[in-house]
Structure 1
């Protein structure tokens, strides 16, 4: 039945029902033990999201910098948010049973008035540095959230504290889908979503984009391995991210979001630890943070410094030296934030880190798997520098952000290149990366809930690799290379709510790149000159997806996205060769469940990889880049967190991957196209014979199981106990007869305990409890790899004791 006054009745009936339902819903909300220290609002909601098991969004940087009082007690999420925001000019808006957004309260807020404008969950990259904080709680101490966004793993600042001044190895231990070569700190390559190309540091661009805020850390460079200190959030986005992040993000993106300066309050923190390693020497580290309000409410300065030594544990039988692989790390970061008013923000960022490795960390199988025989030391050195300036302006419904970043990374490596029966010889390599980029983006939200972003980027990258080889007394320079990339890019991304449950996401990135390269230290032949000429390429990377909320607890998504890497030149058998750009296209589907004390998500992805760039070993034993053909990767990754008892949390996560080289290039000859099936006996001249179609460095199965228990003593201290098991399956080092050796099949274990109260904590952590010597990585030097098995064992059983203080 219809009537003319039906719409009028509905107009007043709906608000009335909402008012009546609100107390019931609040009464039905589960209550949780909340303990949040006084500090910034953005840090407080990170802790509240974890403890209360809710998702909280915050898009206003100025609101995030406000101070809140300590909050402690047993209460509902709604009550906790209300009490947390009592003294601020912010209010909490409920989006669903477990989703909230914090917005600025109107100066003349009234009990009734215009309808509340509810914001839908925005794409994570609509935000400037730490402007967007989205916290998905999984109850108690579980830091990894069920991904509300596709392929997103979020670890809050508490994880950085738990990492205790460590770097990317702490991330790899926590996230099974994150792989790493194990050449040593500052010289590793990282992999995500089973997209792994090479074990070496050469001219190929990284497959994982790494960022400090909005500053790109790597391009052709390896992982700079910055220490995870004084961070607000760590985001790991799996799968190609070409639309918003551009080239070099085939496997995903890792973003380290630092705590920003507070212009109203002094803050300080310090931490330190010492560690004892079985069969090795002691380790230590220390760090300190100071926040200074230079001009009250206008200008703040935040500085971090740190230093540490990782004690060695590999012995050298030939030189009769013990614990040769000691590593020293020193670094720091300084951020200045000026807020002149009217929504303007100016940030200046500077960061530097030096890593010095006394010797390489590999062993062989002839001794006790913790020693080797080498005629000389093989040191390495990483020098990283970064500077960034950014300017932002916030209006009521949209924001503008422009950033300019300059990054430099130099990596020096020495390898043993000795041949049996010959005088000792070495190979030295120096890689130099220089990157300058400017990006400007405008983002906003309409009254209808549409979130949008448009932007552009100009980028220039230069990578040089210089090489020398010979006996110790007379080392001669050999051909090096220089690759240059200049990019001009435009991109757009949007999220449109089609219904109250369904959101459409779409975007695209158009990139025009100019590529050039040349040989160094060698005169250019006519052929080399032809190869070295500059050339251009244009690529369009689309993305599209749907997210559907089946209920307050269950949501699902499907997404398609692409990524690419530009090509370049390499040297093989003393010849200059060109390698082509490669690209990936991936489609994924997933489900996420967040219900009470249980949270889980699972994502299935199918990826096509064309013109795969990978490194082979040439006839001189030198790594060289080739396009090895086309491949496909199928992955299934899942995460789960469950709190069966108050204070007790169980976490499980795992990744299954099946990667194949499906269409080898003309230079690659597969002995078996499918396992056990011959393809012929005629081997093309100059081809590389491969006996497996497995792609390198991809473990078929990896997983982690963790548990923690947290309780409060009568004296008010918080006691936390934790433990974990982590397994990394077997994989191959690379492509070809020399690199096709097995590695992996590693089980790692750890236990920890922490006692904390009033900004102080004391902790103890034991790792590799079984003192396992499993092989993480099957290479130390590519030149001597064919002479015998090389292994990179787990660090032996280690016990670390430390203390953290904040003021």
Structure 2
């Protein structure tokens, strides 16, 4: 993945630090293969020339190596040879790179492979943009997965986060349904139950945070440039809620130079279930060429149901419908400024729960009531960037509103049908302002400040459909009104305000060794209160809990790393990083309880050789040790309701590795694995009372062993057609639903397989894909309804599914 186009296209301006030479003079030039944006900056430093660009898309042009004794103008001509750009000389020391001719229409996702197409330019440098300093991959001290969105076909983009889970071995998830899952990286998992605690994995769309005290919004991946998954705590740069790492999704920016777009549609059929389909469209429209452009994405997806409910005599009850839109406006008033204003909206409607019961037969369960869920997600963001040569200022401000409504079957044996509803409304306001200096070879620094306000507002109710007004209570203190009338039960409201300053700097104490030091200082103001407290709760108890929650805390998170590439082609690194999550209030057995901050410290070491997909052999491996204190976990209380508690201290050992082979240009083989040994070695008192004395407990939801094997084949068929074939198999090992004996049910231990083929001709692509080839019935998630923890519930993989799709670029 290359460095972000919306970073370097604004300007490539650099002035020599010493007495500047005239750009027309012949000088010693040494430029490595890479992107035009980086090459222009380096050339400016070496010659003292001032080099600007008119169009952000030009910065992503791949450039060859240029070495020798020549003028800046001659070097620029070599860089631009064969590209769709030319130079315009302003004076003897100032140049402007402009588009030479109208660009070609957008190409389809996959290359055509036509014989008449000239060979591609040299590959651009892979840059980790989630580092916020745009570090070249060989100079990034840590484990990172870079997923090029060109690898996604229309069906994978329609699948959202599921497409990432199938490609990144270290990424795992619960499977309660789209829009209500929790993502985990490595073994940093608290529980599969949805309570008020903050996520362990940070999720971002560009620079904007997607969630806080809420599940994965599961955005569809249409019109994305790529995805970056940074493993391990990211506390210095990303703050609270990045204990396991971050997932950063990068959308395509508006193109200032050309109108165009793409359409995609597909139909799917699921064995044992209903058909489904997806439709999307992308439109790019320059409003003022080279100055203002608008890009709009719209989509709709239906995932056919495949779970039957015998008790209600309903078939395929778990259908899910998803629709959304995203729009971005880019304004480039001059060569130094870039302004992006964007927004998105997505709605997920799940008709019923995703689980089945083993005793009822495959893909079957018995429920008294339907259990629908809905996710309503809105995001607004404004981003401003200003660049002065290798100095860059970025400001990102945004607002998120995420409303998740869930329902659970609360029917008790011998009682009338009952339904428990929970509505969690999360609002986030965040702003970050940072100043970055990018130097050569991964050196440089970042200094920033951020502010965040987040509110999680949980409301709950219990509805009985019996005819008697006096019934046995399911939740103590909550009346059973009957006749479908809802009775409110106690919820919680948590608020947090975070003010932060952070910094990180990389320097080279000795040649070939890069040291990086960083730190984040955060002041958090937390408060909480009860929503709709039931009458049996004492006012004094409520006031005491709220007083405990109302507090201010200051936390410092340090980080340090060492990296060397003294061995040619090999990167060795060691890294220390911390992360934390703030505390808050939760309901526990109809009492309001405070849960404390938790904190992780990770020490890891690894190596990297080659770049996946570019070099014939690319290998990476990592060994990590994590110490996790005062672990926050979403658990169930004695009634069965989701709550949050500190469950004790734990430790995690992680070993992972990946090898990517290209025995020939047409074939890529990709194999990866991760092993986690996670233990709750100092459980809290309430868990020790429930467990065998001295017994060590495993942390939940993340498999001890997972791995992936994939093969990708691309070849031209003739002068007009190209063929793309891919196949993959992913093994997910055993894990447990939660911490302790109540949630100790085993899950996982299955293989998920996929196969796809596509034919591309010019702007059109026809694709065929098969998911779950073996029609596996493996258990992805063992939770059904928290009001019944005795039944052997399981969440099966989607049965064998075939999809045929058509994409067309214009």
Give the TM-score range, shorter chain.
Answer: 0.7 to 0.9
Task: Select 2:731's aligned residue among 710, 713, 727.
Answer: 727
8 A Cα contact 2:253 2:295, kept in partner: yes
Distance 1:270 1:107 in 2: 41
Other-structure match for 1:153:
145
Distance 2:280 2:125 in 1: 39
Other-structure match for 1:462:
455
* 1:531 Cα offset (Å): 1.4
Distance 1:754 1:645 in 2: 20
Task: Select 1:88's aligned residue among 76, 81, 85.
Answer: 85
Deviations 1:308-350 (A, max 9, x none): 1000000011111110000000001000011101401111011
1:589 aligns with 2:593: no
1:570 aligns with 2:586: yes
8 A Cα contact 1:123 1:494, kept in partner: no
Distance 1:60 1:236 in 2: 32
* 1:527 Cα offset (Å): 2.1
Other-structure match for 2:774:
770
TM-score by length of 2: 0.83
2:162 is paired with a residue whose SS is helix
Unaligned segments of structure 1, at least 5 residues: 1-15, 30-39, 46-58, 92-104, 110-118, 137-145, 680-690
Distance 2:453 2:706 in 1: 37
Distance 1:238 1:148 in 2: 12
1:578-617 paired onto structure 2 within 5 Å: 578-594=594-610, 596-617=615-636
1:204 aligns with 2:207: no
* 1:148 Cα offset (Å): 4.6
8 A Cα contact 1:664 1:670, kept in partner: no
* 1:500 Cα offset (Å): 4.0
Pick closer, same or farther for the CA change 1:85–1:602 going to 2, 3 Å: farther
Other-structure match for 2:476:
none
Task: Select 1:504's aligned residue among 493, 497, 515.
Answer: 515
Other-structure match for 1:663:
682
Equivalent pairs, count: 709
* 1:82 Cα offset (Å): 4.5
* 1:85 Cα offset (Å): 6.6
Other-structure match for 2:471:
none
Other-structure match for 1:407:
400
* 1:738 Cα offset (Å): 2.2
8 A Cα contact 1:319 1:374, kept in partner: yes
Other-structure match for 2:495:
484
Unaligned segments of structure 2, at least 5 residues: 1-25, 41-50, 68-74, 97-123, 466-483
> Whose relative contact order is higher, 1 or 2, with alpha carbons under 8 Å and at least 6 apart?
2
8 A Cα contact 2:581 2:598, kept in partner: yes
1:526 is paired with a residue whose SS is helix
Other-structure match for 1:654:
673
Task: Select 1:707's aligned residue among 705, 711, 734.
Answer: 711
Task: Select 2:647's aligned residue among 628, 641, 652.
Answer: 628
Other-structure match for 2:789:
785
Distance 1:370 1:752 in 2: 25
Other-structure match for 1:385:
378
Distance 1:90 1:492 in 2: 37
8 A Cα contact 1:242 1:563, kept in partner: yes
Pick closer, same or farther for the CA change 1:486–1:520 going to 2, 3 Å: same
8 A Cα contact 1:126 1:452, kept in partner: no
Deviations 1:139-165 (A, max 9, x none): xxxxxxx99541211112213446232
1:355 is paired with a residue whose SS is strand
Pick closer, same or farther for the CA change 1:487–1:152 going to 2, 3 Å: same
* 1:692 Cα offset (Å): 5.2
Deviations 1:214-267 (A, max 9, x none): 110000011000001111121101110010001000011011111111111112
8 A Cα contact 1:723 1:751, kept in partner: yes
Distance 2:402 2:294 in 1: 25
Deviations 1:703-726 (A, max 9, x none): 000112111112332111111111
8 A Cα contact 2:346 2:376, kept in partner: yes
* 1:450 Cα offset (Å): 3.8
TM-score by length of 1: 0.83
1:213 aligns with 2:217: no
RMSD of the alignment, in Å? Answer: 3.2
Other-structure match for 1:475:
486
Distance 2:749 2:220 in 1: 27
* 1:124 Cα offset (Å): 3.9
Other-structure match for 1:759:
763
* 1:496 Cα offset (Å): 1.3
1:559 aligns with 2:570: no
Distance 2:629 2:431 in 1: 29
Pick closer, same or farther for the CA change 1:519–1:362 going to 2, 3 Å: same
* 1:626 Cα offset (Å): 0.7
